[in-house]
């Protein structure tokens, strides 16, 4: 699918709702949200399902079932390293 800024937030919201539980069950995943893809630390205008991880691990070090897909149901997925989140 040719992804661009024309993917509606409603579509991304539906994909998030459908897949959030599965994604949150993956090791290292600490949050799932809706936002924009980042590239080399800069935000783009491409809407995406954002999967937040405590640290990024190179895909070649993960088993295939541990890898977060680049796209889910036609919606681009952006994995963003956010570190540990502590709630006080």
Which pLDDT does position 88 carry in this prediction?
Answer: 74
Of 19 and 84, the structure prediction assigns the larger pLDDT to 19
CA–CA separation, 71 vs 54, rounded Å?
A: 20
Which pLDDT does position 5 carry in this prediction?
Answer: 52
Of 69 and 86, the structure prediction assigns the larger pLDDT to 69
Measured CA to CA in angstroms, residue 44 lies from 37, 49, 62 at distances of 6, 13, 27
Of 84 and 34, the structure prediction assigns the larger pLDDT to 34
The model's pLDDT over 27-59, given as tens digits with 9 standing for 90+, comes to: 899 999 999 999 888 999 999 999 999 999 988
Domain boundaries, the chain: 9-81
Domain 9-81 coded CATH 3.30.300: yes
The pTM is what? 0.85
CA–CA separation, 50 vs 55, rounded Å?
A: 14
């Amino acid at each position: 699918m040719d992804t661009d800024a024309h993917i509606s937030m409603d579509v991304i919201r539906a994909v998030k709702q459908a897949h959030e539980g599965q994604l949150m069950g993956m090791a290292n995943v600490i949050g799932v949200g809706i936002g924009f893809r980042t590239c080399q630390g800069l935000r783009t205008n491409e809407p995406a399902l954002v999967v937040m991880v405590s640290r990024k691990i190179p895909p070649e070090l993960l088993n295939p079932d541990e890898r977060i897909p680049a796209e889910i149901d036609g919606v681009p997925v952006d994995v963003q390293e956010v570190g540990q989140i502590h709630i006080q």
